[in-house]
Amino acid sequence: MAHTVPNQDRGPSGRDRRLDQDPPSLLAHHLLSFRTVDQRILVTQSAPGMVLARPVQLADRMILVGEGAVLTEVMITQMLKRGIKRIVVRGQPVVRSSGDFDAHMLELQKRFSRVEHIPLMTALRDVVARQLARRA
């Protein structure tokens, strides 16, 4: 199937406007269009210098710290004092070891070993395993 250029990207001559841009701005446009991967972490795992990917909101939906803010020690302390448990930061600053994942999977198998013959319990084990894999 051939890729077609949307009408809004075409100039008066019918040519793709993006081709008329100078190469550096075209490259910059494409680089900015790639979204970075964000990571949801505990506030206790955060460190000064991390960048928020989403705003931090209080229970009444009031924004405490805006998206894109660079965390400081004072901000982290205030979030902990206000009971905020998790934040979303840009990138993957906290590396989770695969050993933890393997240990969790072994524990899961052990806990469900006596009820493997019950289809509903097997389905529940599979759901928990998928959640663990998603978080790893």
The residue type at 41:
I
Whole-number Å distance between alpha carbons of 110 and 114: 8
Look at residues 28, 27, 19, 25 and name the one whose alpha carbon lies nearest to residue 10: 19
Q: Which two tokens stand for residue 133?
A: 């894999």
What average pLDDT does the structure give for the chain? 78
Contact 39, 91 (CB under 8 A): yes
Q: Extract the tokens encoding 120.
A: 């509903």
Count the helices and strands in the chain (H runs, E runs).
4, 4
Alpha-carbon distance 100 to 93, whole Å? 17
34-71 pLDDT per residue, tens: 555 788 888 988 899 999 999 999 889 899 999 999 99
Model pTM above 0.75: no
Model confidence at 1, in pLDDT bands (50, 70, 90)? very low
Q: What kind and span of H or E run contains 108?
A: helix 98-112
Tokens of 32: 């900015």
Helical (H) or strand (E) element with 12: none
Q: How many residues does the chain have?
A: 136
Q: Which pLDDT tens digit goes with each residue over 88-104?
A: 999 877 666 666 778 88
* pLDDT (mean) for 20-47: 65
How much is the pLDDT for 21? 52
Asked if 94 and 41 count as a contact pair (C-beta separation under 8 A), the reply is yes
